[in-house]
Structure 1
Amino acid sequence: MKIAVAVNDGAVSQHFGHCEDFYIYDVEDNKVVNKNVVPNPGHRPGFLPVFLKDNGANVIIAGGMGGSAQQLFNENGIKVVVGASGNADEAVNGYLNNELELSSNVCNHDH
Structure 2
Amino acid sequence: MKIAVSYEDGQVFQHFGHCQQFKVYEVKGSSLQTSQILDASGSGHGALAEFLKNHGVTVLLCGGIGGGAREALASAGITLYPGVHGDADQQVQAFISGTLQYDPDTQCHHHHDHREGHCHGHTCSH
Query: TM-score normalised to the size of structure 2?
Result: 0.81
Matches of 1:69 and 1:51, distance apart in 2: 12
1:48 counterpart letter in structure 2? L
SS in 2 for 1:86: coil
Superposed displacement of residue 40, structure 1: 2.0
- What corresponds to 2:24 in structure 1? 24
Length, aligned pairs only: 111
1:108 counterpart letter in structure 2? H
Q: Is the 8 A contact 1:11 1:85 kept in 2?
A: yes
1:95 counterpart letter in structure 2? F
- What corresponds to 2:33 in structure 1? 33
CA RMSD of aligned residues (A): 1.6
Q: Is the 8 A contact 1:16 1:65 kept in 2?
A: yes
SS in 2 for 1:101: coil
> Against the structure 1 CA distance between its residues 79 and 110, is the aligned structure 2 distance closer, same or farther, given a 3 Å change threshold?
farther
What residue ranges of structure 1 are gaps of 5+ in the alignment?
none
Matches of 1:52 and 1:72, distance apart in 2: 11
Query: TM-score normalised to the size of structure 1?
Result: 0.91
Query: 5 Å matches for 1:35-54?
Result: 35-54=35-54
Matches of 2:100 and 2:110, distance apart in 1: 24
2:20 counterpart letter in structure 1? E
What residue ranges of structure 2 are gaps of 5+ in the alignment?
113-126
- What corresponds to 2:124 in structure 1? none
Superposed displacement of residue 92, structure 1: 0.5
2:50 equivalent to 1:61? no
Structure 1 segments (4+ residues) deviating >3 Å:
none
